[in-house]
Amino acid sequence: MPIFKEQLLIKVKWGKELFNDVEANTDEDPLLFKAQLFALTGVQPERQKVMLKGTTLKDNDWGNIKLSDGTMVLMMGTKEEDVVKEPEIKPVFVEDMNETELASSLDLPAGLHNLGNTCYMNATIQCLKSVPELREALNSFKENINLQSGEISQSIVASVRDLLSGMDNGPAKHPIILLKMLHTAFPRFAERGTGGTFVQQDANECWTEYFGGKFDVEWKCTESDTEPITKTSEDFLQLSCFISQDVKYMINGLKNKMQEQITKHSSVLGKDAVFTKTAKISRLPAYLTIQFVRFFYKENNKVNAKILKDIKFPLEFDAYDLCSPELQEKMVPIRNKFKELEEQQVTEALSGDKTQQKMTESKNEKIYKIESYSLPDDLGSNNSGYYVLQAVLTHKGRSSSSGHYVAWVRHKEDSWIKCDDSDVTPVTSEEILKLSGGGDWHCAYVLLYGPKILKIPGTKE
């Protein structure tokens, strides 16, 4: 049984600043202690030099540093914005660049360092970063991280905001503050294995609950014609794609999960009976999360084994057939506008001078009216049923407790990036479609679809 060390309150001297009662838990990696110093000083962990009596603290080992309540340690380091960098003189060619330099030259966002089986968190953050409305909401949140207070929910939101704001470009970031907040709020994510390192977690459990919808549910008893049909309503955070032998496409897996056989008590028969549960979506969220149900518990091996089956998914998805008649009726007006615009574009493409058409498109490419993607009385909903794939979270391996998670995110228009912890590289949409499974390569586990935006061309006034 591991021996947990006492959490101490120490002092930290940084230049002219003195911080009292700083928490130090020597049972955790020193990198997490440096995360607290970053929150206090703004000095990135890689720029920190923490010393006690001539001994320098490492990132992964406390070494000979012995702490007790009231101990004062010295921290040296400068905030990144205060560092005067030497100007670049020599030109650097693409073939000579390392991955960080290449990412910067291609305007790629920053990656996230793996802090020990934290790829599940890194991949989740990279996928959620693709939602502009989420980032806007986070930027409007004005509270700060306070590691010394009990406001853990406030600190989690603030740590996500601060992490995302620094990920637009530059070198890979250390998500250590968010990790500490995650461990504090959800201790199961801090579980360690026999070697003392963090154990792998399920990325789907880390997926933030931002994108909710609603089902209309109908219950019909299959064993009695006199049992009345009952109707209920259920909220959902994601749709589940159920994988069976005959499922080859995502839409079929979704439909299978939305009609299933459930055993429950029949008031007419006075016993348990089989009911057919049929769900139809009565509210579509603007951003739709779809989970591929790839893991199942294997009793003989005591593990969550993985279904590797190839399940095709589209870059553009229409959820209309999954919706209730009432919601379908509400979506007709905006769907008609999409069809009218597509017919107009086809007509223009088949007639007229193509050279003149291209010149006109180039001249007016930014002149258009953007239609709202939400229903008038329901902000944050989807009013058309049309979606565009924003991000794919994949898993590589045979079990949910092992393997590796990676995020594949739409970067700009039809360009994509692969976010493999600290490594961020460009990929094509063809490579995205190859993530459908079928072997030990990366398999799509969670998909994030965003609303398809209707842009109606306009002219200058």
Residue 122 covered by a domain: no
Rounded to whole angstroms, the Cα distance separating 411 from 427 reads 10
Residue 61 covered by a domain: yes
CA dihedral (114, 116, 121, 125) in degrees, to 10, reads -20
Q: What is the pLDDT of residue 210?
A: 55
Rounded to whole angstroms, the Cα distance separating 395 from 446 reads 9
Rounded to whole angstroms, the Cα distance separating 274 from 256 reads 17
Q: What is the pLDDT of residue 397?
A: 84
Residue 37 covered by a domain: yes
Residue 419 covered by a domain: no
Active site residues: 119, 404
Give the predicted TM-score (pTM) of the model: 0.76
For residue 217, count other CB atoms closer than 10 A to its CB. Answer: 16
Domain harbouring 2, CATH code: 3.10.20.90
Closest CA relative to residue 400, chosen from 302, 257, 300, 288:
302
* Domain containing residue 45: 1-77
102 with 94: CB under 8 angstroms? yes
Q: How many folded domains does the chain comprise? A: 1
Q: What is the pLDDT of residue 221?
A: 94
Residue 121 CA to its chain's centroid (Å): 8
Residue 6 covered by a domain: yes
Residues in the chain where the model's pLDDT stays below 70: 1-7, 80-106, 146-151, 195-196, 208-211, 298-299, 301-303, 352-366, 400, 458-461
Q: What is the pLDDT of residue 250?
A: 96
Cα distances (angstroms) measured from residue 430 to each of 292, 424, 434, 447 = 20, 17, 7, 16
Rounded to whole angstroms, the Cα distance separating 2 from 192 reads 10
> How many residues belong to the chain?
461
Rounded to whole angstroms, the Cα distance separating 419 from 428 reads 13
Give tens-digit pLDDT for 315-364: 999 999 999 999 999 999 999 999 999 988 888 778 765 555 555 554 44
Residue 70 covered by a domain: yes
Residue 141 CA to its chain's centroid (Å): 19
3-state secondary structure the chain: CCCCCCEEEEEEEECCEEEEEEEEECCCCHHHHHHHHHHHHCCCHHHCEEEECCEECCCCCCCCCCCCCCCEEEEECCCHHHCCCCCCCCCCCHHHCCHHHHHHHCCCCCCECCCCCCHHHHHHHHHHCCCHHHHHHHHCCCCCCCCCCCCHHHHHHHHHHHHHHCCCCCCCECCHHHHHHHHHHCHHHHCECCCCCECCCCHHHHCCCCCCEEEEEEEEECCCCCCCCEEEEEEECCEEECCCCCCCEHHHHHHHHHEEEEEEEECCCCEEEEEEEEEEEEECECCEEEEECCEEEECCCCEEEECCCCCECCCEEECHHHECHHHHHHHHHHHHHHHHHHHHHHHHHHCCCHHHHHHHHHHCCCCEEECCCCECCECCECCCCEEEEEEEEEEECCECCCCEEEEEEEEECCEEEEEECCEEEEECHHHHHHHHCCCCCCEEEEEEEEECCCEEECCCC
Q: What is the pLDDT of residue 87?
A: 46
Residue 426 covered by a domain: no
Cα distances (angstroms) measured from residue 178 to each of 38, 43, 441 = 12, 16, 29
Q: Which two tokens stand for residue 104?
A: 């910067």
Radius of gyration of the chain (CA): 26
Residue 338 covered by a domain: no
Half-sphere exposure of 47 (CA within 13 A, CB side): 15
